[in-house]
């Protein structure tokens, strides 16, 4: 805590502090803090709170509650935050299915929602809303980036994802940009932890590379088993399975894996340096992409608060849309559907001393937009 205080004091003296509308902002954060998926929520929360601390803005009040990764509970908490706590803004949800449960009804009640992670296609296309801002990505983006990047080196990729909407979006996203041939397309059971059968298929498929989207424990399990199997084909994937929160658990098996994201800790800009240093100092670990997205979300809110009153929803929405903040991702702006226009990078898992982490090796997309913006009418 002392460290945190010191860091925020430092940031305070450095930043041009000033809130034109020095009035309280109440933010409701619903995120996953218990159960198997808690690591992601904790990172998003810590990133978010770090930005608030660093800003030194005392007018921001964040109410944080745990959704335990259950949609019904998330809805109940959202009702409480809107009806009882009377929050101005909401944020924090990690999972698409929880976002689908909370976001449409929150925005229907004129609450502004900012996504720190989930970006289901339904909310980017026909279901978009002027009160919904996605500060992370549209779900397809990381996969699209890998599809594009794979064109350079590979001709015959084996692709695999769990059999649920995000899994299908993933493979669709990959195929949207990948021009090579598919050595196989496999859907696994959600939550599956033994991949021996799939690895045998990969070995027999004659592929020259393997693309997987297996978030959380599934990715850890697959990557370890894949390395143990000795198949040895290059492994590709979105950042979710190779992010800082899971890398220590995978261990050296992840070395050399290529993965795509909109952020990496070595991204060279001032905001990112302040973020990575501040995060390490405050929490004693390296930040993940979820922490970076949480950090950016908080800074976006703070930037809008300097321009407009949160009580004037229209003005505040307009201020958010300008995205006038220093993103840790460098360039960042909103498309017509309030989803990001940003660059996507290919990262490689490397060892930095004893710590496994990701290093940027290439740029997959510059100023990339999602595929659904045209369907959004607002």
Partner 1 sequence: MSLTLLIEQILNGLQFGVMLFLMAAGLTLIFGVMGLINLAHGSLFMVGAFACATVAAATGSFWLGLVASLAAAAAAGALVEILVIRRLYERDHLDQVLATFALILIFSEGTRWVFGSFPLYLDIPQLLSGAVHLPGGAQYPIYRLAVIGVGIAVAIGLYLLIGKTRLGMRIRAGESDREMIGALGIDIGTLYTLVFALGAALAGLAGAMVGALQSVQVGMGEPVLILAFVVIVIGGIGSIKGALVGSILVGLTETLGRFLLPHVFGLFMPNSEAATVGAALASMLIYIVMALILAFRPQGLFAANA
Partner 2 sequence: MTRETTISIVIVAGLLAAAFIAQAMGETFYITLATRMAILGLAATGLNIALGLGGLVSFGHAAFFGIGGYAAGILATHAFNSEPLLLGLPGTNQMIVIWIAGAIAAGLVAVLIGLISLRTSGVYFIMITLAFAQMIYYFAISWPAYGGEDGLSIYVRNTFPGTNTLAPMSFFLICFGLLVIGLVFFALIRDSRFGAALQAGRQNDTRLAAVGIGPFRVRLVAFVISAMMTALAGALFADLNRFVSPSMFSWHMSGELIVLIIIGGVGRLAGPLAGAIVYVLFEFALGGITEHWQFFLGLILLAVVLFARGGVMGLLAGRARHG
Residues that bind partner 1 (CB under 8 A): 33-36, 38-39, 42, 163, 168, 171, 185-191, 193-194, 196-197, 200-201, 203-204, 216-217, 220-221, 224-225, 228-230, 245-246, 248-251, 253
The answer to whether residue 34 forms part of the interface with partner 2 (CB under 8 A) is yes
CB proximity list for 118: less than 8 A, separation 6 or greater: 93, 94, 95, 96, 98, 99, 136, 139
Query: In angstroms, rounded to a whole number, what is the distance separating the alpha carbons of residues 16 and 13?
Result: 8
CB of 360 to partner 2, least distance (A): 31
Do residues 178 and 157 make contact, with C-beta atoms less than 8 angstroms apart? yes
The answer to whether residue 341 forms part of the interface with partner 2 (CB under 8 A) is no
Q: Which stretch binds partner 2 (CB under 8 A): 70-78, 194-202, 262-270, 283-291?
A: 70-78
Question: With 0-12 CB in 10 A as exposed, 13-18 as middle and 19+ as buried, what is 377?
Answer: exposed
N residues, the chain: 378
Q: Which stretch binds partner 2 (CB under 8 A): 164-172, 260-268, 291-299, 347-355?
A: 164-172
* Closer residue to partner 1 (CB): 212 or 308: 212
Closest by CA position to 231, among listed 205, 256, 252: 205
Within residues 115-134, the interface with partner 2 by CB under 8 A covers 120, 122, 127
Do residues 287 and 328 make contact, with C-beta atoms less than 8 angstroms apart? no
The answer to whether residue 56 forms part of the interface with partner 2 (CB under 8 A) is no
* 248 interface partner picked from partner 2, partner 1, none, CB below 5 to 8 A per type: partner 1
CB of 288 to partner 2, least distance (A): 19
CB of 73 to partner 2, least distance (A): 8
Query: In angstroms, rounded to a whole number, what is the distance separating the alpha carbons of residues 341 and 218?
Result: 29
The answer to whether residue 355 forms part of the interface with partner 2 (CB under 8 A) is no
Closest by CA position to 28, among listed 94, 87, 95: 87
Encoded one letter per residue, x for contact with partner 2 by CB under 8 A and - for no contact, window 90-109 reads ------xx--xx--xx--x-
CB of 296 to partner 2, least distance (A): 24
* Closer residue to partner 2 (CB): 44 or 101: 101
Do residues 92 and 31 make contact, with C-beta atoms less than 8 angstroms apart? yes
The answer to whether residue 369 forms part of the interface with partner 2 (CB under 8 A) is no
Question: With 0-12 CB in 10 A as exposed, 13-18 as middle and 19+ as buried, what is 63?
Answer: middle
The answer to whether residue 377 forms part of the interface with partner 2 (CB under 8 A) is no
Do residues 364 and 260 make contact, with C-beta atoms less than 8 angstroms apart? yes
* Closer residue to partner 1 (CB): 254 or 304: 254
Phi-psi region of 141 (alpha: psi -120 to 50; beta: other; left: phi over 0): alpha
Closest by CA position to 210, among listed 192, 241, 187, 231: 231
* 336 interface partner picked from partner 2, partner 1, none, CB below 5 to 8 A per type: none
Q: What is the contact surface with partner 2 in residues (CB under 8 A)?
A: 33-35, 65-66, 68, 70-73, 75-77, 79-80, 83-84, 96-97, 100-101, 104-105, 108, 120, 122, 127, 163-166, 168, 187, 189-190
């Amino acid at each position: 805590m002392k460290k945190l205080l010191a860091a925020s004091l430092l940031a305070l003296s450095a930043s041009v502090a000033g809130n034109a509308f020095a009035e309280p902002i109440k933010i409701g954060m619903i995120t996953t803090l218990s159960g198997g998926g808690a690591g992601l929520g904790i990172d998003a929360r810590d990133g978010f709170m770090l930005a608030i601390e660093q800003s030194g803005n005392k007018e921001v009040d964040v109410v944080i509650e745990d959704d335990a990764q259950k949609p019904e509970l998330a809805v109940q908490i959202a009702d409480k935050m809107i009806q009882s706590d009377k929050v101005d803004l909401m944020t924090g949800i990690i999972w698409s299915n929880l976002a689908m449960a909370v976001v449409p009804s929150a925005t229907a009640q004129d609450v502004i929602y900012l996504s720190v992670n989930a970006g289901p296609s339904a909310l980017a296309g026909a279901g978009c809303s002027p009160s919904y801002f996605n500060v992370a990505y549209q779900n397809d983006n990381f996969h699209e980036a890998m599809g594009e990047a794979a064109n350079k080196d590979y001709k015959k990729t084996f692709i695999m994802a769990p059999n649920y909407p995000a899994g299908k979006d993933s493979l669709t996203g990959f195929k949207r940009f990948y021009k090579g041939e598919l050595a196989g397309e496999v859907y696994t059971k959600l939550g599956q932890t033994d991949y021996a059968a799939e690895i045998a298929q990969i070995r027999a498929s004659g592929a020259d590379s393997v693309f997987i989207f297996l978030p959380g424990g599934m990715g850890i399990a697959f990557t370890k088993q894949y390395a143990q199997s000795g198949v040895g084909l290059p492994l590709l994937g979105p950042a979710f399975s190779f992010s800082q929160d899971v890398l220590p658990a995978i261990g050296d098996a992840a070395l050399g894996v290529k993965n795509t994201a909109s952020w990496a800790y070595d991204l060279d800009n001032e905001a990112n340096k302040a973020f990575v240093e501040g995060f390490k100092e405050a929490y004693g670990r390296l930040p993940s992409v979820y922490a970076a997205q949480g950090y950016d979300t908080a800074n976006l809110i703070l930037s809008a608060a300097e321009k407009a009153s949160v009580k004037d929803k229209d003005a505040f929405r307009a201020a958010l849309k300008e995205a006038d903040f220093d993103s840790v991702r460098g360039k960042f702006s909103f498309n017509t559907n309030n989803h990001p226009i940003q660059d996507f990078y290919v990262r490689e898992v490397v060892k930095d001393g004893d710590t496994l982490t990701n290093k940027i090796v290439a740029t997959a997309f510059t100023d990339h937009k999602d595929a659904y913006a045209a369907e959004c009418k607002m």
